[in-house]
Every structure is written in C-alpha cells, then in structure tokens.
Amino acid sequence: MTSPSNPAAGPLAGVRVIELGQLIAGPFCGKTLADFGAEVIKVEPPGKGDPLRKWRLLKNGNSVWWEVQSRNKQSVTLDLTQPEGQEVLRALVKDADVLIENFRPGKMEEWGLGYDDLKKLNPGLVMARISGYGQDGPYRDRPGFGIIAESMGGLRYLTAEPGRVPVRVGVSIGDTLAALHGVIGILMALYHRDARRGVGQVIDIALYESVFNCMESLLPEYSAFGVVREAAGSALPGIVPSNAYPCRDGWILIGGNGDGIFKRLMKAIGREDYAASPEMAGNDGRVKRVADIDGAITAWTKSRDKATALKILAVHDVPSGAIYSIADIAADAQYRARDMILNIETRDGYRVDVPGIAPKLSATPGAIRSTAPRLGEDTESVLKRAGVKAETIADLRAKGVI
C-alpha cells in the first residue's frame, strides 16, 4: 500500500508549526501533528542536522528511522547560537501557531527566544517545551533522557522478572509518551486560543511526568496500603489471569481476567470446575488462587502448539495472541487491512515500509503527503515566505547561519 486516500485534507490543515527539537520527543510530537495536516517546519543546525539522521541502520547514508520521524515536514537549516539565526527564527515565529522545543530549560531564554520574548511578536503562539524534568523544580537543570524518565517515573522498576535486573522496554517509550502528552497539550491550547480567548500559552512537558501519568494504580495503592508494586515479569499482579503461557513452540499471551471471559477460558481448557467455582467468580477470589489458575492454564498450553491453542481460544472468545516480532507484524493481515504498513519512495529513490497513521479519523484522516526532507532543502522558500530578502539569505548562507 501507499499513502491512504485524501492526502490533501487533514484536521490540522492551516496550522503552522516550528519544530526546534532533535532526536525523539520533540520530533515525534511534530511528526504526529504533521501526519494530520499541520505544516511543520523543522529547524536543524547547518552541517549535520538532527542527529537522528545518523541513528541506527543507515541506507544511502541516512537513517531509515528518519523516513518515519520526519515525513510530512520541511527542513530549514538555522544556527540558533548566532544572533542572525535568532533573528530569522523571530521572523518565522510571527506567523506560526505552534513552536516545539526540547532544549534544556533556560536555553531558549539564553538566546532571547523565551516565551515572554516570542509572545510579544505573536500573542497567539502556543509553545510546547519538552524537557527531562520540566521548566522548574530542583531537578530543572539536570540533563534528561527517556531512559532516565522511565526509571524516575516508575516504569523501569517493574520491567523485570522477580529478582532480576530491570530491563528497558526496547524502544524509547519515555520520549514517545512525552511527545504524545505534548500533542495533547498543543491541541488543548489551540482550542483554548481559537475558541475562547485568542491568546497562546506554554505547555510544560516533563519526560518523567509523562511516564508517571501512565503508571495506573501505583501511587494510590502505596498511599492507602503501603504496598510497593514489585516486578512480576509477564504477569499483571492483582488481576487474574493475565500472563504469558508456554506452548510447545513458544509463548502466547492470555488475558482472561474479566469474569465472563474467565469462565469461557476455563471451559476452553477443560476446567469446568473452575468455571463453576463461586470462589473464582470474581477477581478478588481469583487473586487468592492465582498459582492454581496459572498452573491449569500452563498445563493446557504446554500440550499444544501456539496456532492450535490460539484457534481454540478464539472460538471461545478469549483475548489471546502470539508475541509478535516485526517480521510477524509485517506479514499480518490486520495491519495491512488498516493501512498500518505503508510503502513509500524516499528522496533517495528507494522504497521502504513505514508505519501508517494512527489514530484513524473518518472525515479528516491523516496521510503521508511528503517524504522526509533532505537537510535544509526548504530553507530558501520558507525564509522568503517569512519576508527575508534574497540578498539577506545569501549573506546568511555565506556566514554559515543557514
């Protein structure tokens, strides 16, 4: 498949975004807005650009990850450490709706580009500021990375088998959660500006807070009972049964924790006695018998291969599934049917599969309208539109500002 239909439309059409971020959190925020029609002007330092261009596996000298993170964006090179570069950014801000930055707190103010400075040029500007610990507090000036946020937010403490070293999720989930909180904040701020008061505001997104916001019942359980949830591997403590179970040829996941689902699951594995048990009818009772329940499920799965077990569970309407690798994802009919795997041609002329657009909007769907840009390819056109004269652009290029 190529891009979904209706590529020109998008619910954020007409929204202009300046993206100053690098690597993951800021750019993923910008990418999500761009997928839904926002015009995203990505500002990169001259020379090397965003370091993500060289992260992980490269093809023709560029990261294939770059093709996902920077699709639908324009690339402008600009050295913000130089006064001339700062002045150009001010020109761009005048007709922008949103500015995204993920520098360490205080850096924008050091350049004379803090919100108090920029709102004088554009009172309606919405400024999303993504940092490790937020714009204030005792940790404000510490360097922040997604892995540290995952640790401080409570996630890394739980990602382990009991008694073993905590492991990372496998992707930069702390950065991505912060980016999505940024998108939510931007949309709320734009709604407030346009529907209510006509003024912009700052969205202060801390990586650790974005992780912590998704940690479910950890804090109230600790507050009410003094309980510290510990690492439990593939199980979900206190919610039974929900675990990974071994088959002859690998593992499957089963979520049988709903009361009705539990009964269907027990019938599927031939344990009608458990299905009929008043003691196990509710989750509170099942928690007391978790070892027995998991043991019964394991005895059943170990005698079958994955495909057979999953087929039986599907017949009984029990949530279950294989543990997918990316090879499994790429071959899966559901992903293909919903355009979640799209094939694009990059600026370098090779074709590659990339993730599709989520979420799905019925009237104004997102789309891939353009592939990831070459470094600085839109600098001249964007600056001219902002009112920068041709001779000034030539001078800035000669000085290495752009």
Spatial distance between the Cα atoms of 68 and 255, rounded to a whole number of angstroms: 32
Q: In the structure encoding, which two tokens stand for residue 28, read together? A: 């993923």
> Could you say which of 175, 259, 305, 328 is catalytic?
175
Spatial distance between the Cα atoms of 46 and 402, rounded to a whole number of angstroms: 6
CB 252 within 8 A of CB 306: yes
Spatial distance between the Cα atoms of 66 and 156, rounded to a whole number of angstroms: 27
b/e per residue, 231-259, with b = 16+ CB within 10 A? Answer: beeebeebebbbbebebeeeebebbbbee
Q: In which order are the strands placed within the sheet that holds 320-322?
A: 242-247, 250-255, 320-322
Spatial distance between the Cα atoms of 342 and 357, rounded to a whole number of angstroms: 9
H or E element: which one contains 387?
Answer: none
Distances 43 to 25, 36, 104, 133, 381 between C-alpha atoms, Å:
15, 20, 17, 23, 13
CB 60 within 8 A of CB 364: no
User: What one-letter code names the amino acid at 103?
Assistant: F
Distances 5 to 8, 18, 330, 342 between C-alpha atoms, Å:
9, 26, 21, 12
Active site (annotated) includes residue 395: no
Catalytic residues, by residue number, are 175
